[in-house]
Amino acid sequence: MPLVATAYERGITTLTLDSPDNRNALSARLVGELAQALSDCAEDESVRAVVLTHAGSTFSAGADLKAPPNPYTFVALLRQIVTLPKPVVARITGHVRAGGLGLVGACDIAAAASAADFAFTEVRIGVAPAVISLPLLPRMDPRAAERYYLTGERFDAAEAARAGLLTLAADDVDAGLAPVLAGFRSASPQGLAAAKGLVTARVLEAFDRDAEDLVQRSASLFASAEAREGMTAFLERRDAAWVL
């Protein structure tokens, strides 16, 4: 069974992360399937925009610790979302953790139901939100990024919108997105691509400047003794050795 399901309606292709058994963790396979689906959307002239959503109660729990993607492959996926010549919209109705926030940050518009929640949990397993900083830090409020990167605490959709992680939070996320999708359907493909290039320029500067450094930092952290302890504790459902 595919891990990314595809549906199409009136110019909008919906890509659904469909691996709810592991909370849509970012495995090498899921990342590869999503990259291929996005490439297909880029080449399909009937597709005006892409909606990225999820099956189950979690948008994405972050990296699959049992079968993680190559960090360069994940960077390439994030950049692919940013540079796709069509808008990409994150539609969230549940939990988002760690690397899943990178997907949200790479999207042009991000909308969540009021009940959704978010957390940068990397610090709790001995690593840091390194690679996902590429799309996130240019868009987030600096003080909010400092707090949530450093504490790993959970925050709600209203706070995510205030922090710049989300475009909108609404009790009915589909009603909130309705005028957005209507706008895409009324816009010219050329106009959308050109407008997207304007608003993503600063994010792409971060990729060009910092991607290699952040991949290396991430690799070093994941190879450390503290990260091994943190990931083992997570998989064993116990506190890590440093928890006070």
Structure tokens of 30? 């899921």
Residues of the chain whose pLDDT is less than 70? none
Q: What pLDDT is stored for residue 29 in this prediction?
A: 97
* Domain extent at residue 57: 1-171+189-244
Q: What pLDDT is stored for residue 22 in this prediction?
A: 95
Quote the CA–CA distance of 216 and 220 in Å, as a whole number. 6
Is residue 81 a part of any domain in this protein?
Answer: yes
Say how many C-beta atoms besides its own lie within 10 A of residue 86's C-beta. Answer: 21
Interior/surface letters 129-145, b for 16+ CB within 10 angstroms, e for the rest:
bbbbbbbbbbbbeeebb
Conformation bin of residue 56: beta by default, left when phi > 0, alpha when psi is -120 to 50:
left
Is residue 133 a part of any domain in this protein?
Answer: yes
Q: What pLDDT is stored for residue 126 in this prediction?
A: 97
- Sequence-distant (6+) residues with CB within 8 A of 181 are 12, 49, 51, 89
Burial (CB count within 10 angstroms: exposed 0-12, middle 13-18, buried 19+), residue 66: exposed
Q: What pLDDT is stored for residue 131 in this prediction?
A: 97
Is residue 227 a part of any domain in this protein?
Answer: yes
CATH code of 75's domain: 3.90.226.10
Is residue 139 a part of any domain in this protein?
Answer: yes
Is residue 182 a part of any domain in this protein?
Answer: no
Q: What pLDDT is stored for residue 105 in this prediction?
A: 98
Total tally of structural domains belonging to the chain? 1
Is residue 180 a part of any domain in this protein?
Answer: no
Residue type, position 244, single letter: L
Is residue 178 a part of any domain in this protein?
Answer: no
Cα 148 from chain centroid?
16
Strand ranges for the chain from DSSP E: 4-9, 12-17, 49-54, 58-60, 88-92, 95-97, 109-113, 117-119, 155-156, 168-170
Q: What does pTM read for this prediction?
A: 0.96
Is residue 183 a part of any domain in this protein?
Answer: no
- Sequence-distant (6+) residues with CB within 8 A of 182 are none
DSSP annotation string for 85-153: SS-EEEEESSEEETHHHHHHHHSSEEEEETT-EEE--GGGGT----TTHHHHTTTS-HHHHHHHHHH--
Q: What pLDDT is stored for residue 66 in this prediction?
A: 87
Structure tokens of 27? 């495995």
